[in-house]
Amino acid sequence: MSIIDIKNFYWKYLGSKDYALKNINLKIEKGEFIGIMGPTGAGKSTLCLAIAGLIPWVLPGEIKGDVIIDGMNTRKYSMKDITKKVGIVFQDPEIQFIMMSVEDEIAIGLERMNLSREEMIKRVDWALDIVGMKEYKDVSPEELSGGQKQRVAIATMLAKQPEILVLDEPTSDLDPKGKMEVFSVISNLRKEFDTTIIMATHESEKILKFADKIIVLNKGNKILEDYPEKIFSKIDELKSIGIRPPQIIEVCNKLGCGTVLTIEEAEKVLNKKFSLKNKEHYQKIDFLKNNRKPVIEVQNVSYIYPNGFKALENVNLTIYEKDYIAIIGQNGSGKTTLAKHFNGILKPSNGRVLVYGMDTRKTPISEIAKKVGYCFQNPDHQIFSNSVEEEIAFGLKQIGLSKKEIEKKVSEILKIVGLEEYRYEDPSFLGKGQRQRLAVASILALEPKILVVDEPTTGQDYAMIKDLMNLLTNLNNKGNTIIIITHDMQIAAEYTKRIIIMRNGRIVADDTPLRIFSNLELLSENDLEAPQITQLSIRLGFIALNNEDFIKIIKRE
């Protein structure tokens, strides 16, 4: 008997017009690792919530069909019974914490199971040991980094020893090291306890490595269910619905080498098929050497947060006009703190920041905002108005433009970001990708010469990422300076022209993507990794940062 059996399952959220899941049929065996993929809004989270019993017990809506967990129909058994079998970890671990210390967080679930004190102590230690967080027992969850929080969230579920662990995009906010940590913890779990794992994710390269089977959802329908290698061989189909296929599979496929899953395998196949000796590096224009005007000068800047945490230490940096920069580094390395100095949101504790020669400590933020736009990671933090039009006009009113000018500007911007048809809509009714574009649009309206975008790709599907990155690239081509903060190495390598690596509040490297991503030692020292395609190209004796360059070099006679 399958441990999870979903039969003709439909779910419609209260107040929603359409079903979020339509006629889902699925059987999952004990100990399997199932990946759930699909574009934003495909129904991935809804399926996770249904398996965890939160649908129909907590969320209101209309249900048809059945979800049977180890013989228990989730419509008939209570949450108390279901949670004994299933544990769920959400994308944002923050919302799952209810206690004030890591050990209490894990213990609270065990206390309600009425276990003996000795058993609880044993399980808390064991769960923390498995996720490598034993030394953080007494720490408040607020003090942990994103990756650590996620590991604690997993430990809270592990301690209860559920047979099924559901993870809803658990790695989307994490740096490469954090992502790897989460995947390896889950992999160990399977080996040791035969736990059934169900994970919704956009991480195609990682899921390919770990999952037994992948389910692809689109608009609430299950459109594919197969082994990872078979799923990812359907490259065009995946790309058309907004799923980013692993770079190696895509490249090998385009080069006529069939479906190749690992870097090692790809190296062998490509060496056999092509003559790869004396291939030259694909050389991008070296932007750092160009003589361009400095627009932001960070001079000996240190920053200490009110709680005493030193987030930046003696940072020196010059950003030039037309730069296209990616700031990368681990969670908590100081990337966002540094970027918040660029438009004066934060003022240095020591040193100074000059924006077009203006000292941010002495210049009103309204003046700096005209030059530097800052787009926050979560669009919900920056939408203040009741219509798309008003939202874009908001900043324009602050800088004192006339009604006529505002009207003209709003129309122009809406056209650029492709939101014209939503002009009078309430922003809360837009999808996440559209809200993200609206957030960028409202900043663009101020015509800043410099645009800072914090984590533009988090939780977004491939189509949305591509849309946004193309928009930023166009702006850069028109002369704007673009600075993105990202954990997505593939995006950084593919789109930007300069990479800054941060670690412990300091800049440890500042160079072209080519030099940064070819320095595997530097990346490893900073717990980062090069895109898969770059790793492969290095093994083959050249350097390529994206699929197109790679294919171009291979095919070059």
Single residue of 251, 317, 446, 499 touching another protein by CB under 8 A: 446
Q: Which stretch binds another protein (CB under 8 A): 12-20, 102-110, 352-360, 486-494?
A: 102-110
Q: Does 440 bind another protein (CB under 8 A)?
A: no
**CA dist 268 → 271, 541, 555 (Å):** 5, 13, 17
How far apart (Å, rounded) are the C-alpha atoms in residues 128 and 152?
Answer: 7
C-beta closer to another protein: residue 392 or 491 = 392
How far apart (Å, rounded) are the C-alpha atoms in residues 331 and 548?
Answer: 30
Q: Does 274 bind another protein (CB under 8 A)?
A: no
Binding positions for another protein, 389-418, rule CB under 8 A: 394-395, 398-399
Q: How far is CA 449 from the centre of its chain?
A: 26
**CA dist 509 → 42, 250, 319, 498, 527 (Å):** 39, 30, 14, 10, 13
Shortest Cβ distance from residue 176 to another protein (Å)? 25
Contact 162, 84 (CB under 8 A): yes
C-beta closer to another protein: residue 100 or 420 = 100
Q: Does 16 bind another protein (CB under 8 A)?
A: no
Q: Residues, the chain, total?
A: 557
SS3 290: coil
Q: Does 504 bind another protein (CB under 8 A)?
A: no
Binding positions for another protein, 109-128, rule CB under 8 A: 109-117, 120-121, 124
C-beta closer to another protein: residue 186 or 392 = 392
Q: Does 79 bind another protein (CB under 8 A)?
A: yes
Binding positions for another protein, 297-326, rule CB under 8 A: 306-308
Q: Which stretch binds another protein (CB under 8 A): 17-25, 271-279, 379-387, 402-410?
A: 379-387
How far apart (Å, rounded) are the C-alpha atoms in residues 546 and 533?
Answer: 6
Single residue of 37, 52, 224, 328 touching another protein by CB under 8 A: 52
SS3 152: helix
How far apart (Å, rounded) are the C-alpha atoms in residues 396 and 435?
Answer: 19
Single residue of 46, 74, 83, 148 touching another protein by CB under 8 A: 83
CA angle centred on 167, ends 165 and 173, rounded to 5°: 150
CB atoms within 10 A of CB 221: 15
Shortest Cβ distance from residue 181 to another protein (Å)? 21
CB atoms within 10 A of CB 420: 12
Q: Does 60 bind another protein (CB under 8 A)?
A: no
Q: Does 98 bind another protein (CB under 8 A)?
A: yes
Single residue of 154, 186, 346, 544 touching another protein by CB under 8 A: 346
- Placement of tokens 């559209």 in the chain: 434
C-beta closer to another protein: residue 5 or 94 = 94
The kind and range of the H/E element at 179 are helix 176-193
Shortest Cβ distance from residue 112 to another protein (Å)? 5
Site string for another protein, 188-207 (x = CB under 8 A): --------------------
C-beta closer to another protein: residue 156 or 253 = 156
C-beta closer to another protein: residue 112 or 552 = 112
Q: Does 459 bind another protein (CB under 8 A)?
A: no
Q: Which stretch binds another protein (CB under 8 A): 23-31, 176-184, 292-300, 360-368?
A: 360-368
Shortest Cβ distance from residue 17 to another protein (Å)? 20
Q: Does 14 bind another protein (CB under 8 A)?
A: no
Contact 177, 330 (CB under 8 A): yes
Concatenate the DSSP letters of all residues of 311-346 into one string.
Answer: EEEEEEEEEETT-EEEEEESTTSSHHHHHHHHTTSS
How far apart (Å, rounded) are the C-alpha atoms in residues 466 and 436?
Answer: 13
CB atoms within 10 A of CB 40: 17
Q: Does 350 bind another protein (CB under 8 A)?
A: no
- Placement of tokens 């600075």 in the chain: 483
Q: Does 361 bind another protein (CB under 8 A)?
A: no
Q: Does 161 bind another protein (CB under 8 A)?
A: no
